[in-house]
Structure 1
Amino acid sequence: MNANRTSLFCDTALAGRIERVEAGLIAACGRAAQVDSAGFVRAIAGGVACFAEPGSPFNKVAGLGFGGVPGVADLDGIEQAFAAHGAAVQVELAHLADPAVGVLLTGRGYRLESFENVLGLALDGEYERPMPSGVVVRRSGDDEFERWLEVVADGVAHPDSQGLPWHEEFPRETYLRAERRLAAAGVGRYAALRDGVLAGGAGLRVAEGVAQFAGAATLPAHRRRGVQSALLSTRLADAAEAGCDIAVITTQPGSRSQQNAQRQGFDLLYTRAVLVRHGPDGTGWPALSPARPVG
């Protein structure tokens, strides 16, 4: 790590850039899913609405609040599109976004269900790649993709219980499909080996000078051995070399992941409110008025 790092202050311009990059990732994954799924990706008020496939973690609206307030007609269209797939609308709204967006959504029946934190680190120097004894981190190629998938899926299946529960939990097959979509969207993969055994993996995506840390997982038998720290430091070094000026990671509030990130120098930048509109069956919803059909 850089001992003389700059403490990061997040203004609305930086938050808008991070949210734009996040929306770009969601859109890319949604388009990757359209190869074998009849979903949609739509721009809305500077953000994106995406339905990738049933049960996908990419079924959401991201990036709102930094490109104007969405119009009623735009929201009508998005809500109808989700309803046609029998899905609720999940909006992840940064607390630095235009407050008018939150007022609009809650007025339409969206309810607060959870929060997630966005942390960032200013990449303003060179970063070392310290490795604990017996640990090696390297880029992971297509030749070991299936094995990498199994390892990260096994790691995710046994999460740390510290902090608030993650608001998104998915079956193993759904998680595996999501990782395939991330790979198709250009997210780079890293493998961590401990004593020659594949022990964990992580992802990294670079866009607009932002390094997105797209998840990381370690098998339970290899935890508390420095694997996660090695994956983190390697990605930081690669991101700095790629010309990024900021690295970002998303965590649950009060989680071990947040604690570990802050120990590595990440600052809490902002929080996203997860606002969801459900129908009476817990998934989609009927028209907002008799004059507004859903289809």
Structure 2
Amino acid sequence: MDTTGKPLFCDTGLAERIERAEVQLITDGNAAARRRNGDGKGFLKPVTGGVAAFAEDESPLNKVAGLGFGGVPDDALLDEIEQAFADRGAPVQVELAHVADPAVGAVLTERGYRLTSYENVLGFPLPGEHGRPAPEGIEIRPSGEEEFDRWIEVVADGFAHPDTQGVPSHEEFPREVIAAAVRDLVGAAGMRRYSAVRDGALVGGASARMADGIAQLTGAATAPAHRRRGVQTALLAARLADAAAAGCDIAVITTQPGSKSQENAQRQGFHLLYTRAVLVKQV
């Protein structure tokens, strides 16, 4: 846990670095989904430093991310992106950091995008105090290939039954789509997988991607029957320890505002860095 008491300040340089890591994560997951489907429906388009991605119908990877740090997209490019989503019967969802160029938000508003939701990006400075506490009866260990399918099931079930604390998510995804997206992301992005075991049963899972000094802590979920027992806190601490050992200087996590996940992260010493506004246009 970070005990310095000093807030972690996020300037535009740090935000851009985190957003670039997010763009790469989406790019890798999108590529895996397109290989899996092989139907030519998916697409990936660069957008002024960001990316517009469509993986498959109803996928959480269908979005525009990373805008606001490489210029403002012009009308012709936005026309092309909106048409690509319209051709697939999907809305355009843009996740825009509040520290990005405000001109991007103005352009999107003028084109009819509506503010739908928010998500918070939190960060933990590394190295720091990052012990691996695990409540009695809970074991956190690397997840091997022999349990990959079971790990996917547990994580997908956890996401399919979200915690109700905080601001509700504006999105709901079919369980099978969640499972496919998690499999694509974990398999394509070189992530480390972690399992939480309680009384001999796999009750939670999480993953982490470490690149360019950033540890992206992703995919954390606990089976509903085993929540409020410290599983998420133990998974978080284990990934922080490994991120520090890998030489990362910051770990980041994305949460719903006011959620149990945000509460757990802040108790572990995470700082709120910035908020992404979720802007949606029905096309």
Q: What's the TM-score, normalizing by structure 2? A: 0.95
Residue 206 (structure 1) aligned with residue 213 (structure 2): no
Show structure 2 runs of 5+ residues with no match.
none
Counterpart Cα distance in 1 of 2:27 and 2:76: 21
Deviations 1:273-294 (A, max 9, x none): 101110xxxxxx2xxxxxxxxx
Counterpart Cα distance in 2 of 1:223 and 1:51: 33
Residue correspondence of structure 1 range 270-289 to structure 2 within 5 A: 270-278=274-282, 285=283
- Picking from 155, 172, 176, the partner of 1:173 is 176
Counterpart Cα distance in 1 of 2:67 and 2:211: 18
Counterpart Cα distance in 1 of 2:113 and 2:86: 14
State whether residues 124 and 270 of structure 2, in contact with CA within 8 Å, keep that contact through their aligned partners in structure 1. yes
Counterpart Cα distance in 2 of 1:124 and 1:107: 43
State whether residues 3 and 129 of structure 2, in contact with CA within 8 Å, keep that contact through their aligned partners in structure 1. no
Counterpart Cα distance in 2 of 1:5 and 1:193: 32
Deviations 1:85-127 (A, max 9, x none): 1111100000000000000011111111111111111112352
2:166 corresponds to which residue? 163
Counterpart Cα distance in 1 of 2:174 and 2:124: 32
2:19 corresponds to which residue? 19
Residue correspondence of structure 1 range 30-45 to structure 2 within 5 A: 30-35=30-35, 36=37, 37-38=39-40, 39-45=42-48
Residue 143 (structure 1) aligned with residue 166 (structure 2): no
Counterpart Cα distance in 2 of 1:70 and 1:80: 15
Counterpart Cα distance in 2 of 1:116 and 1:45: 22
Counterpart Cα distance in 2 of 1:5 and 1:195: 36
2:223 corresponds to which residue? 219
Q: What amino acid is aligned across from residue 171 of structure 2 in structure 1? A: E
> SS at 1:87's partner residue?
coil
Deviations 1:221-265 (A, max 9, x none): 222221111100000000111111111111111111111111111
2:72 corresponds to which residue? 69
State whether residues 187 and 214 of structure 1, in contact with CA within 8 Å, keep that contact through their aligned partners in structure 2. no
Residue correspondences, number:
279
Give 1:74 deviation, angstroms. 1.3
2:272 corresponds to which residue? 268
Give 1:267 deviation, angstroms. 0.6
Q: What amino acid is aligned across from residue 245 of structure 1 in structure 2? A: D
The root-mean-square deviation of aligned C-alpha atoms, in Å, is: 1.3
Distance 1:163 1:2, change over 3 A: closer
2:93 corresponds to which residue? 90
State whether residues 162 and 255 of structure 1, in contact with CA within 8 Å, keep that contact through their aligned partners in structure 2. yes
Q: What's the TM-score, normalizing by structure 1? A: 0.91
> SS at 1:34's partner residue?
helix
1:293 corresponds to which residue? none
Deviates more, 1:43-52 or 1:188-197: 188-197
1:122 corresponds to which residue? 125
Give 1:183 deviation, angstroms. 1.6
Show structure 1 runs of 5+ residues with no match.
279-284, 286-295
Give 1:137 deviation, angstroms. 0.6
Deviations 1:161-201 (A, max 9, x none): 11111122101111111111112222221100012211100
State whether residues 29 and 185 of structure 2, in contact with CA within 8 Å, keep that contact through their aligned partners in structure 1. yes
1:187 corresponds to which residue? 191
Give 1:131 deviation, angstroms. 1.8
Give 1:2 deviation, angstroms. 4.1
Instruction: Work out which of the two has the higher radius of gyration on C-alpha atoms and give 1 or 2.
Output: 1
Counterpart Cα distance in 1 of 2:94 and 2:213: 25
1:290 corresponds to which residue? none
